[in-house]
Amino acid sequence: GRDFHIRILLPMDFQLKNARIECSWHLKKMLHGYRHILKQRLHSCPDLVSFMVELQTVLEIALKNTQDLHIPRPPEYYSCLVRDLEILGWNKVASVDAGLTAVKLKAEDSCGRQHLITLKLNAKYPTEPPDCLVDFPVQFAISWMPQNSLLDIYNQFLAALESLKDFWDAMDEIDGKTWVLEPENPTRSATTRRIAIGNNVSVNVEVDPRHPNTLPECYFLGADHAANPLRTKLNSNMHLWDPEISLLQNLKDLLEIDFPSRAVLEKNDFARDCGICYAYRLDGAAPDQVCDEPRCGQPFHQACLYEWLQGLPSSRQSFNVIFGECPYCNKVRKASDGARVVAA
């Protein structure tokens, strides 16, 4: 029943993962221990409305845990918790906080990947279930009865890990065999990968974690002369998608390409700095616009290019689209404050 005011600052490209959150010191203090969770949600939520729902859930958990810190816990709480930990096995415990109110458990899936689950226990445990925080691309909801224990949660956690095996297999293959431009250090909850194809074109792939063997959403970034043929091949070959082979191999077959190999090339071959700010990352984002002139191909951050075109005395603007010359080759360009940049 409490109201909190926050401000969410979106970058010019409206990428939620690069948003910044501002709030009062009181709210900031409550959310301090949940910053990594909020970052994960910014990366995984498809839109602002979904993130606000997630933020509300995280805030409710934070409020409840803050209140629980001031509730004296009966001796039965500690004896029950210690008993449950012993039944579970201390080798599965990664850490326990000093107040015995938060437990972090570790697990290994069938492919040897390491995972953690954080349990926030309230004073009524085990009558009420703990809050569970995981690095998953989907919601993790537990089934709980008062007679259940931490072992039951752990087994449900293991089952959830196996249900996401195919998704993580697909993402690990992409991370291991291609040059991923974004995200730079993907979490287990991240469902997108921007994969380098050449020094002036890349593809952003959005994978459905529940159906990782289906055709993902693909969005090509780069100069039109390099990106348009890839779009055409993808549209023409969609019927060739084979759910029995890996996602990466399907992408190769549909696009009729081999992605640049990590064994042969360096990331610097693709990670070219913005031609305006001379940096690779701006507010965490890599350059996502490229001059369409084949002899130029200079990359830019969309925000940098839009600001550059705004400052040109010869530029002209129509609604939210601005027209001006490329800083390098003088080719006429247009940019919008929220859409992609294309050649005029």
Out of 140, 163, 186, pick the residue that ends a domain: 163
Asked if residue 277 belongs to a domain, the reply is: no
Q: Summarize pLDDT for 258-311 with one digit per residue, the tens.
A: 998 777 666 666 667 788 887 777 776 777 777 777 777 778 888 888 888 888
Question: What is the total count of domains within the chain?
Answer: 4
CATH classification of the domain holding 262: 3.10.110.20
Residue 67 has pLDDT above 70, yes or no: no
Residue 14, sorted as left (phi over 0), alpha (psi -120 to 50) or beta, turns out to be left
| Closest to 340 in 3D by CA, of 15, 8, 9 | 15
Is the domain of 145 the same as that of 87? yes
Q: How far apart are CA 337 and CA 287, in angstroms?
A: 15
pTM: predicted TM-score of the whole model, two decimal places: 0.67
Asked if residue 274 belongs to a domain, the reply is: no
Burial class of residue 315, CB neighbours in 10 A (0-12, 13-18, 19+):
middle
Out of 70, 91, 120, pick the residue that ends a domain: 70
Q: How far apart are CA 199 and CA 49, in angstroms?
A: 35
Residue 57 has pLDDT above 90, yes or no: no
- State the amino acid at position 289 in one-letter form: Q
Which range is most confident: 115-124, 317-326, 328-337?
Answer: 115-124
Is the domain of 113 the same as that of 208? no
Asked if residue 281 belongs to a domain, the reply is: no
For residue 343, name the pLDDT band (cuts at 50, 70, 90). very low
What integer pLDDT is reported at residue 255 of this predicted model?
95
Out of 163, 180, 210, pick the residue that ends a domain: 163
Residue 73 has pLDDT above 80, yes or no: yes
Residues 6+ apart with CB under 8 A from 177: 248, 259, 261, 262
3-state secondary structure at position 86: helix
Is the domain of 59 the same as that of 28? yes
Is the domain of 177 the same as that of 203? yes
Residue 20 has pLDDT above 90, yes or no: no
Q: Is the dihedral of CA 154, 160, 164, 165 positive or negative?
A: positive
Q: How far apart are CA 79 and CA 222, in angstroms?
A: 60
Which range is most confident: 37-41, 92-96, 227-231?
Answer: 92-96
Q: Summarize pLDDT for 240-254 with one digit per residue, the tens.
A: 999 999 999 999 999
Is the domain of 77 the same as that of 119? yes
What integer pLDDT is reported at residue 63 of this predicted model?
81
What integer pLDDT is reported at residue 99 of this predicted model?
84
Is the domain of 24 the same as that of 113? no
Q: What is the DSSP string of 211-241?
A: STTSPPEEEEEE-HHHHHHHHHHHHHHGGG-
DSSP state of 282: B
Contact in structure between 189 and 43 (CB atoms under 8 Å)? yes
What integer pLDDT is reported at residue 247 of this predicted model?
97
Is the domain of 8 the same as that of 21? yes
Asked if residue 283 belongs to a domain, the reply is: no
Asked if residue 243 belongs to a domain, the reply is: yes
Asked if residue 40 belongs to a domain, the reply is: yes
- State the amino acid at position 259 in one-letter form: F
Question: How far, in Å, are 162, 163, 201, 204, 258 from residue 197 at the CA level?
Answer: 31, 30, 6, 10, 8
What integer pLDDT is reported at residue 338 of this predicted model?
41
Q: Summarize pLDDT for 306-322 with one digit per residue, the tens.
A: 888 888 887 777 766 77
Range of the structural domain that residue 334 is part of: 289-343
For residue 135, name the pLDDT band (cuts at 50, 70, 90). very high
CATH classification of the domain holding 154: 3.10.110.10
- Cα angle, residue 197 at apex, residues 194 and 199 outer, rounded to 5°: 100
Asked if residue 284 belongs to a domain, the reply is: no
